[in-house]
Amino acid sequence: MNDRLDARDAVPAELHGSGRFVWSRKDFVPAYVKAFDEGLLQQRAQEAVEALRSCRVCPRDCQIDRFNNKVGVCKSGRQARVASAFPHFGEEDCLRGWRGSGTIFFSWCNLRCVFCQNFDISQRGEGAEITPAELARMMLELQSAGCHNINFVTPEHVVPQILEALAIAVERGLSLPLVYNTSGYDSLESIRLMDGLVDIYMPDFKLWHAAHCAKYLVARDYADAARAAIAAMHAQVGELKADEQGLALRGVLVRHLVMPGLLEDTREIMRWLATALSRDTYVNVMDQYHPSHKAETDPRFALINRRLRDGEFEPALEHARSAGLWRFDTRWRNVG
């Protein structure tokens, strides 16, 4: 791998928008560093941890006393569980760069997606519980490894634990952009706690229709929750901005995995992104779906027990273009 991205390829037209979405790296300071200096981060961490006593961290609103290790839908108690932490080169170019995105994969999840490709982590809890100090150490080790950002994967149910660890990490020198890489099933309270702390929000918007959300995500209110959360994210950080070499610094990047037989969900999601957020929203429309977990074994999910057929993905892109969206990530596009 090259030590650096070629400058001609670093900031594609869809990302820089003729300069409108380029920020100077030398002037950039992560949001959480400013918040720490003002005492806001420490205050939010304390507030979030105390709220674990009657947990409403996500839209499930279990109100379980996670502070004393009771568990609800997410199966997580007082401490976060982490499956892995490493420089990830499979993310979007604006995140992975040439030294990787510093990903920390949290175990468990507040959704029950029947097609989850990481179900060993999300639904079987593969990983180990860690203390806030250990989580802070992971962040600092990824920074020392040269990663371009810290990328929290599936953070929806562990926002208090993240804030608690972040306060330790920034005091010890953490200074990378922070990526909140979520399914979109977040509570407004959690997004409020992250206001002024997160630099880059990267939510999925999976499905639109309530019946599909109930069947495939086991969360009928998923789309309602995602709309509210993503709108709040956009209000905080706006459209995605990158530095001179194409590395994301701040803003929203929305992912949408095109599902077989569910193209109408795609149409509605793209229309909403363009009208409720902005036509300048940066979107990764993904075509790499393949059946996994229950989707390939349970006859109830026969509709999605296949890959996309020829001619199914282009209409999804056309829905996005017709809505007025134009900033598309293309790295994951299958060819041939």
- Give pLDDT, residue 330: 81
Evaluate whether residue 57 is within a structural domain. yes
Task: Yes or no: say if 298 and 114 are a contact pair by the CB < 8 Å rule.
Answer: yes
Which residues share a beta bridge with 86?
A: 103
Reduced to 3 states, what is the DSSP secondary structure of residue 101?
strand
Instruction: Report residue 333's pLDDT band, with 50, 70 and 90 as the boundaries.
Output: low
- Give pLDDT, residue 134: 98
Which residues share a beta bridge with 88?
A: 101
- Give pLDDT, residue 10: 52
Evaluate whether residue 87 is within a structural domain. yes
Residues 6 or more apart in contact with residue 291 via CB below 8 angstroms? 115, 304, 305, 306, 307
Distance CA 323, CA 302 (A): 30
Evaluate whether residue 47 is within a structural domain. yes
Instruction: Read off the pLDDT of each residue in 310-319 and give the average, rounded to a whole number.
Output: 95
Task: Yes or no: say if 149 and 87 are a contact pair by the CB < 8 Å rule.
Answer: no
What is the phi/psi pair of residue 182, to 5°?
-125, 160
47-51, 125-129, 215-219, 328-332: least confidently modelled range:
328-332
Residues 6 or more apart in contact with residue 107 via CB below 8 angstroms? 76, 81, 82, 83, 121, 122, 125, 126, 127, 154
pLDDT tens digits for range 136-167: 999 999 999 999 999 999 999 999 999 999 99
Task: Yes or no: say if 179 and 152 are a contact pair by the CB < 8 Å rule.
Answer: yes
| CATH number for the domain harbouring residue 28 | 3.20.20.70
- Give pLDDT, residue 4: 42
Evaluate whether residue 336 is within a structural domain. no
Q: What is the percent of the chain where pLDDT is above 70?
A: 93
- Give pLDDT, residue 93: 96
Distance CA 274, CA 7 (A): 29
Instruction: Read off the pLDDT of each residue in 102-111 and give the average, rounded to a whole number.
Output: 98
Question: How many residues in total does the chain contain?
Answer: 336
Residue 246 pLDDT greater than 90, yes or no: yes
Instruction: Tell whether the torsion through CA atoms of 249, 320, 12 and 149 is positive or negative.
Output: positive
Which of 181, 201, 190, 221 minimizes the C-alpha distance to 57?
Answer: 190
18-27, 173-182, 217-226, 259-268: least confidently modelled range:
18-27
Residue 332 pLDDT greater than 60, yes or no: no
Q: What is the percent of the chain where pLDDT is above 90?
A: 91
- Give pLDDT, residue 19: 77
- Give pLDDT, residue 236: 98
Structural domain harbouring 229: 7-328
- Give pLDDT, residue 7: 38
Task: Yes or no: say if 275 and 321 are a contact pair by the CB < 8 Å rule.
Answer: no
Distance CA 25, CA 19 (A): 14
Our count of domains for the chain comes to 1
Distance CA 49, CA 70 (A): 14
Residue 5 pLDDT greater than 50, yes or no: no
Instruction: Report residue 20's pLDDT band, with 50, 70 and 90 as the boundaries.
Output: confident
Diameter of the chain measured on Cα atoms:
55
Evaluate whether residue 335 is within a structural domain. no
Average pLDDT, the chain: 94
pLDDT tens digits for range 48-96: 999 999 999 999 999 999 999 999 999 999 999 999 999 999 999 999 9
Distance CA 164, CA 158 (A): 10
Evaluate whether residue 333 is within a structural domain. no
Residue 18 pLDDT greater than 80, yes or no: no
Task: Yes or no: say if 160 and 181 are a contact pair by the CB < 8 Å rule.
Answer: no
Residue 8 pLDDT greater than 50, yes or no: no
- Give pLDDT, residue 2: 39
Fill in the amino acid letter for 258: V
**pTM, 2 dp:** 0.94
Evaluate whether residue 2 is within a structural domain. no
Q: What is the DSSP pairing of strand 150-153 with strand 178-182? A: parallel
DSSP letters, 171-226, are: HTT--S-EEEEE-S---HHHHHHHTTT-SEEEEB----SHHHHHHHTS-TTHHHHH
Instruction: Read off the pLDDT of each residue in 9-36 and give the average, rounded to a whole number.
Output: 81
Residue 16 pLDDT greater than 90, yes or no: no
Which residues share a beta bridge with 251?
A: 200
Instruction: Read off the pLDDT of each residue in 294-323 and give the average, rounded to a whole number.
Output: 97
Buried/exposed code over 150-175 (b: 16+ C-beta within 10 A; e: otherwise): bbbbbbbbbbbbbbbbbbbbbeeebe
